[in-house]
Amino acid sequence: MSVSINENIITLNTKNTTYQMAVNENGYLAHLYYGAALNGAVAIERGKVGYHTGLPLAYDSKSRELSPDVCPLEYSAYGSGDFRTTPLKVCFADGSSVCELRFVKAEMLASKPELSGLPALHDSDNKSQTVEICLKDKILDLRVYLMYTAFEEEDVIARSVRIENHTGKDIVLESVLTTCIDNYEDEFDFIAFKGRPHFERHLSRTSLGDLKITSESKRGSSSHQDNPFVIVCSKDCTETAGDCFGSALVYSGNFTASMEKTQIGTSRFVMGIHPENFSFKLKNGQSFQAPEVIHSFSSKGFEKLSHNYHNIIRNHLFRGKYALAQRPILINNWEATYFNFTADKLLAIAKEAQRIGADTFVLDDGWFLGRKGDNSSLGDWFVDEEKLGCPLNVLISKIGELGMKFGLWFEPECISENSNLYRAHPEWVLQAPARPGMLGRKQWVLDMSNPKVVDKIFEMMSNILDNNNIEYIKWDFNRYLTDVYSTALPANRQGEVHHRYVLGVYNLLERINKNYPNVLIEGCASGGGRFDCGMLYYSPQFWASDNTDPMDRLAIQYGTSFCYPVISMGSHVTASPNHVTKRATPIKTRSNVAMAGTFGFELDLTTLTGADIETLCSETEFYKRNSELIRLGDYYRLTNDSSRHIAWQFVSKDKSQALAVLVQKTTRVNYKPIIQKFRGLDSNAKYCVTIDGEKCEQLYSGTALMEVGLGIRTIKYESESTRIEFQKV
């Protein structure tokens, strides 16, 4: 069994890992171990690090040396002698915040339950096992329910927390983090994925030392700057060796993830909703559900950890028609036309797109009434037929005659001051009383914590979707949250707005998914500003970045791949020189980089030469032939993002087929040639190798390809790229 409860020991096992807890002599739930599989052993000795003789704070008079300040706790609360970062802080009715959590019971659940109002991993085949543990305050009837689900094949532990108020009076939650893991060791590196707009999710690795290290967002979204996925690893950890622990928060708002070294040389990791600007009132009998964290451990380096996350996200986070299916190959008009288009121009682009093999046309920003630029009309989702020159359904029909599906851009969460909706409901924006507020991108943020706002946006979007044959939505969000104040909540509950905003967004997305199951939603937030597991539950692909320069995308997609599968990354072939960087790159390289994602196009195809069109025809056909391998195969980072060439590889689950791509990043004169080693192949098999369409005369063993490699002579200069195919014989 994946989960066992044996007296006071609770153990979760996956194929290669063990997670273990124990109830100590004072009734506290101690964290014993998370790491490589113990195969039935018990890590009880790790629970004894709580015995401390230096100015101890005793649990009680019977155990004066067992101190809450150093004991490895599974979940702790503020005010009871644990001075490390505590995941829970409560303000009780009398104003006190002291809370001591004691173990009550642990019980197996029949299946993994859904989390109220929140995205989470699902288990449709019911192969996972779930245990729920109840802790209760020593004095007041505050209950904390810890839920753990073991996904055995994926080596994943999913963890969430629910707080229930049975104290008889109102309480206020001031911090509810989801996870707390106390490690016996402290010699760790902390890896976060940092960035900025147009430069998202770049790997940042820092030694823990004697510091507290934090990755966080307080911007209202998970943000371009920090991603809610982090790795804690041994100092010697590499792609293929060493211990690493991953934690991915299934949430799209403010978050924190931190690691600290304790006074006795152990360490604590916590992750969850950021406590700053957060408070949540619970009346007696009410509960609060915190978001889920997806944990995984690998003793074989980052590569195995990434495979664990890719598999769990594909199989247990994605939902609906497109979860594992081939995604549309789309042409988006944004970088081709921006706001300046007519139906005739769009049709001309669509005809060329159909010629090169695209199957979906996406009309981006500028299609709705009054939208001539970015300073008006957001919130008024009515078609501008005069601009188009025809009704939207006529344009869609003409696109359909080309054999193509149709998609449409929305930015549902934002509103222009110059809009009919704002004039009718200025109280529906986030704006502090008696303050002018701060515009961003010339727009306000709608108060998605207000159910009336969510209902109105759903009504307007439904009107478009019900009356037009739309099979794809690009869901954009081009703001951070400022002036966070809701007129729908009283003054003493404004600390709930950030979280209720996220719940409102999820509610709207869920309603769109439920009512329009054939519509694929691709998320976007000024590019990759909300690329997280929470959004991927509703939109199984997300625009990786508004920076479409393929040379910059190498690093963006490299960092993203540590947690998120390739098929979740929106990536397009765009114009050269690039519209952001003005850098010129070969069309073949632009295609190769876009294939390490969902693959599509975003340029004015009517301006290309016949030779370029023919190249894109063959590139699209190549992608279609290899779509299943790219979508469902195992992904290998063959180089790091600082190498002079960047290489990656896809290998089918049965190791019969593989595809590698190399891109020359920098050129060095008279330097050693590239000899690239590969990974994931069958060491006992022979492979036929094809380089850029040319078959090699000899067969290569899997062992030789992985241990010796191939000499790569097809790329010499900056921005050149090559493709290598492997077929088992």
169, 92 Cβ separation under 8 angstroms: yes
Burial (CB < 10 A; 0-12, 13-18, 19+), residue 538, is: buried
Percent of the chain with pLDDT over 90: 88
- Between CA 615 and CA 611 the distance in angstroms is 6
pLDDT band at 44 (very low <50, low <70, confident <90, very high): confident
Q: Tokens 């904390």 identify what position? A: 144
pLDDT > 80? residue 517: yes
Between these two residues, 24 and 451, which has the higher pLDDT value? 451
For the residues 354-368, what does the mean pLDDT come to? 97
pLDDT reported for residue 65? 64
For the residues 378-389, what does the mean pLDDT come to? 95
Beta carbons within 10 angstroms of residue 185's beta carbon: 13
190, 259 Cβ separation under 8 angstroms: yes
- Between CA 691 and CA 710 the distance in angstroms is 10
Q: Tokens 């593989």 identify what position? A: 658
192-237 confidence digits (pLDDT tens): 999 999 999 999 999 998 889 999 999 999 999 999 999 999 999 9
pLDDT reported for residue 713? 87
Instruction: Tell me the three state secondary structure of residue 142.
Output: strand
- If phi over 0 gives left and psi between -120 and 50 gives alpha, with beta otherwise, what is residue 78? beta
For the residues 13-33, what does the mean pLDDT come to? 93
Burial 709-727 (b: 16+ CB within 10 A, else e): ebebebbeebbbbbbbbbe
665, 643 Cβ separation under 8 angstroms: yes
Query: What is the radius of gyration, based on Cα positions, of the chain?
Result: 27
List of domains in the chain: 3-316 (2.70.98.60), 330-414+450-480+516-632 (3.20.20.70), 645-728 (2.60.40.1180)
pLDDT > 60? residue 78: yes
Contacts of 62 (CB under 8 A, 6+ apart): 26
Is 476 known to be catalytic? yes
For residue 368, give the DSSP letter.
Answer: B
Is 69 known to be catalytic? no
**Quick one: which of 627, 654, 665, 645 has its CA closest to 709?**
645
pLDDT reported for residue 63? 59
Q: Please work out, in degrees rounded to the nearest 5, the angle formed at the alpha carbon of residue 537 by the alpha carbons of 319 and 257.
A: 150
Burial 604-641 (b: 16+ CB within 10 A, else e): bbeebeeeeeebbeebbebbeebbebbbbbbbbbbbee
601-641 confidence digits (pLDDT tens): 999 999 999 999 999 999 999 999 999 999 999 999 999 98
81-126 confidence digits (pLDDT tens): 899 999 999 999 999 999 999 999 999 999 999 999 999 999 988 8
pLDDT > 90? residue 46: no
* 577: preceding bond cis by omega (within 30 degrees): yes
Query: For the residues of 388-419, what is the DSSP string, one character each?
Result: HTS-HHHHHHHHHHTT-EEEEEE-TTEE-SSS
pLDDT > 80? residue 62: no
Q: Tokens 């380089």 identify what position? A: 691
Q: Tokens 């063993």 identify what position? A: 701
pLDDT reported for residue 59? 55
Question: How confident is the prediction for the chain on average, in pLDDT?
Answer: 95
Picking from 35-49, 142-156, 253-267, which range would have the lowest pLDDT averaged per residue? 35-49
pLDDT > 90? residue 670: no
481-501 confidence digits (pLDDT tens): 999 999 999 999 999 999 999
Dmax (CA) for the chain in angstroms is 85
- Going 448 to 454 to 458 to 459, the CA torsion angle's sign is negative
549-580 confidence digits (pLDDT tens): 999 999 999 999 999 999 999 999 999 999 99
Q: Check 476, 532, 549, 682 and give the catalytic one.
A: 476
pLDDT band at 669 (very low <50, low <70, confident <90, very high): confident
Report the relative pairing of strands 212-217 and 255-261 from DSSP bridges.
Answer: antiparallel
132-154 confidence digits (pLDDT tens): 999 999 999 999 999 999 999 99
**Quick one: which of 311, 295, 43 has its CA closest to 148?**
295
Beta-carbon-side half-sphere exposure of residue 710 (alpha carbons within 13 Å)? 28
pLDDT > 60? residue 283: yes
pLDDT > 80? residue 414: yes
Q: Check 189, 380, 447, 546 and give the catalytic one.
A: 546
pLDDT > 60? residue 57: no
